[in-house]
């Protein structure tokens, strides 16, 4: 896309597979030096080996100390950090009405603390580079999606509030932050991959009823928007949640 990202150093959390992996690939293709992150060292090693010059940094960024260790390893290897993509997250939880204190903690750690921990750990480096943060969220944080776990929707709504609220103090340090809120994204291992295996007509009915474009999105769709927001081409964008859902959200 010629986004002027050559030689920028990017850390993508949760990037050994799925959307995060495609984001890492896209940034690498745009010329970034990429650091991938995940908790599973074997998956991470296999992914990072496919991108020339990339490194894999094992760590659980839902834990503040490990988030700091991940960032420190990136800085030790590359000497700087220009782009932070907070992609750790997951929508699997209990059905609405069955929440517990433990489940609230787990889902918020995965979908909110992972981002806030990573931003805190990376902020000094990003201030030096006048860098960019992009958080991968969900349309579940924008409106009530029938059947979506309440824990997950609440955590993503909180992430949106964080991005909007932190943008002003970060901006005073020359750092931009935005979020991308994808809708229904299809990839191997996704909920939509499972649903297509179980009941294609039901998925087709949902798409026709709820999604203006009538299709599922792809990780490439998400990665392209993330790359744009991480680039100088979006230099006036900060504090926004960018919806990417084929026209599903009503507001």
Model confidence at 198, pLDDT cuts 50, 70, 90, reads confident
Please report whether residue 31 resides in a domain: yes
- β-partners of residue 36 are 12, 56
Q: In what order do the strands lie in the sheet with 132-136?
A: 55-58, 33-38, 9-12, 83-86, 132-136, 176-182, 241-244
Catalytic residue among 21, 108, 113, 152: 152
Please report whether residue 197 resides in a domain: no
Q: What local confidence, expressed as pLDDT, does residue 12 receive? A: 98
Active site residue 228: no
Return the closest-CA partner of residue 132 out of 218, 30, 245. 30
Q: Which of 37-41, 167-171, 195-199, 244-248 is least confident?
A: 195-199
Please report whether residue 190 resides in a domain: no
Q: How many domains does the chain have?
A: 1
Please report whether residue 121 resides in a domain: yes
Model confidence at 251, pLDDT cuts 50, 70, 90, reads low
Please report whether residue 52 resides in a domain: yes
Which range marks the domain in which residue 231 is found? 9-185+218-244
Q: What local confidence, expressed as pLDDT, does residue 197 receive? A: 80
Q: What local confidence, expressed as pLDDT, does residue 248 receive? A: 94
pLDDT higher than 90, residue 21: yes
Please report whether residue 250 resides in a domain: no
Please report whether residue 210 resides in a domain: no
Please report whether residue 205 resides in a domain: no
What's the CATH code of the domain at 177?
Answer: 3.40.50.720
Would you say 223 and 23 are in contact if contact means Cβ atoms under 8 Å apart?
Answer: yes
């Amino acid at each position: 896309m010629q986004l002027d990202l050559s030689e920028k150093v990017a850390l993508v959390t949760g990037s050994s597979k799925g959307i995060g992996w495609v984001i890492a690939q896209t940034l690498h293709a745009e010329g970034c030096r990429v650091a991938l992150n995940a908790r599973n060292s074997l998956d991470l090693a296999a992914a990072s080996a496919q991108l020339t010059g990339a490194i894999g940094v094992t760590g659980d960024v839902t834990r503040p100390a490990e988030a700091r260790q991940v960032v420190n390893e990136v800085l030790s290897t590359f000497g700087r950090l220009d782009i932070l993509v907070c992609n750790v997250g997951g929508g699997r939880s209990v059905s609405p009405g069955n929440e517990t204190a433990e489940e609230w903690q787990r889902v918020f750690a995965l979908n909110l603390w992972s981002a806030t921990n990573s931003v805190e750990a990376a902020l000094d480096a990003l201030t030096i580079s006048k860098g960019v943060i992009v958080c991968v969220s969900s349309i579940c944080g924008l409106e009530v999606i029938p059947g979506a776990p309440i824990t997950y929707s609440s955590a993503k709504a909180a992430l949106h509030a964080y991005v909007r609220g932190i943008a002003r103090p970060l901006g005073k340090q020359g750092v931009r932050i935005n979020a991308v809120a994808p809708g229904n994204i299809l990839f191997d291992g996704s909920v939509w991959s499972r649903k297509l295996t179980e009941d294609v007509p039901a998925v087709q009915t949902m798409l026709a009823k709820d999604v203006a474009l009538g299709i599922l999105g792809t990780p490439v769709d998400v990665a392209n928007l993330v790359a744009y927001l991480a680039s100088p081409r979006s230099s006036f964008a900060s504090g926004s949640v960018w919806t990417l859902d084929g026209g599903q959200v009503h507001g």
